[in-house]
Copies of this chain bind each other. A is one copy, B any other.
Amino acid sequence: MDSKVRDITLQYLDGYSVCDYCIGSLQKISKPPLDLIEEMLISAYGLDKVILTFGAREAIGLVMRGVVGHGDYVIVDQNRHYSSILAVESVGAEFIEALTTGYPEYVVGADAYKDAIEEGKKKYGKLPALILLTHVDGRWGNVTDAKAVGDVAKQHGVPFLLNSAYSAGRFGFSADKLGADFVAISGHKSFGSSGPIGALLFRSEWSEQLLHESKFYPGKYVETLGCTVRGTAAVSFLEALKILSERLGRWGQEVQRTRDFVSDMEELGCGWDGRGNEIIQSGIKQLGETPKNHDLMYFETPIFDEIAQKHRKKGYFLAEELKKRGVMGVQPGKTKGIKMSIYGLNDEEIKQVINSFKEIINAG
């Protein structure tokens, strides 16, 4: 979290002060200017309307409730977040998976969606009610070709929901150009905002299906029970949006650093034969698309798994050894594979991360 965002968040930590100025909807509050959130999101990512939610999953949930009915089915990519399936189940619908290419890249493309639609038509005798694509998945950090999937959706006349929890806030794109009808966003995942906060961007033609105004409390939407997000997270998100262009501007640099980091990590996993000849042992191998186009990395790490088997702390040794060296965020107990990101770290800190892994390998 950027220090400016943090400062403002702390001022509102006790929450609710913004409600003193409410005129019916948190999104319309002008003091602090929470009403700018809507404008800023639309100007950054396109489409017509915004509704704030607790996170991307709740944005996806709103779309399912509005667009997908009992007995319908949805196409989802195999890399989707588990909560996308729960959202499908929550409306009594079913789903067909658009499959990945499998190990080692796990890429999902437009062809997989075409296949899934054909499968769905055979199984259900109709088109899907919705196509959901996880723009960037949370495991491999693969950046999908959303435009190509959007084109498939358009060809079939099926509404297209893009889960941008790991893309919006990291890099720029135009939801209109990608052909999305809905974009689910996460403030705490990719904008450096305190959470829980997210948003659903959508085309205005879906308004009536998505949101119904209360008959008794004008301006309040039934589907969100009036307000979802409360003050602290909204104020934090607003601050994060103010520095969005700075984040988006350094995306190329972040991706380059990630690629360099992958090289350095994979090199750590290589062995030597004692005569100076490198033996590729694949002790550390990045999975997902190569080269990387996103900061989320997944490494298959047999080298750490081997150490874990001999280590008295077993699988927990890795997270603990890293923590001792100030490296946080690797999931305790996991050594077969690790998920990580160096987003926002400077060169010195990145070197420190690489050196920590090196020391742990040498000690093992």
Contact = CB atoms under 8 A, between A and B. Distances in A.
Interface of A: 1, 6, 9-10, 13-17, 20-21, 54-55, 57-58, 60-61, 82-83, 85-87, 89-90, 188, 194-196, 212, 214-217, 220-223, 225-230, 232-233, 319, 328-329, 331-332
A86 B222 contact: yes
Nearest to A229: B196
B20 A86 contact: no
Contacts of A222: 86, 89-90
A223 B64 CA distance: 12
A13 B20 contact: no
Contact of A226 (B17, B83, B220): B83
A58 B21 contact: no
B20 A331 contact: yes
Nearest to A215: B89
Contacts of A230: 55, 188, 195-196
A61 B225 contact: yes
A207 to B, nearest CB: 17
Given A10-B13, A83-B225, A86-B225, 16 more contacts: A1-B13, A15-B195, A15-B196, A16-B188, A20-B332, A82-B217, A83-B220, A83-B226, A85-B214, A85-B217, A86-B222, A89-B214, A90-B222, A90-B225, A194-B232, A196-B229
B332 A15 contact: no
A82 B226 contact: yes
A200 to B, nearest CB: 14
B188 A15 contact: yes
A175 B264 CA distance: 59
A15 B188 CA distance: 8
A306 to B, nearest CB: 23
A296 to B, nearest CB: 14
B194 A21 contact: no
Contacts of A6: 13
A57 B228 CA distance: 9
A188 B19 CA distance: 14
23 contacts: A6-B13, A13-B194, A15-B195, A15-B196, A16-B188, A20-B332, A21-B332, A54-B228, A60-B225, A82-B214, A82-B216, A82-B217, A82-B220, A83-B225, A83-B227, A85-B214, A85-B216, A86-B226, A89-B215, A90-B222, A195-B230, A195-B232, A196-B230
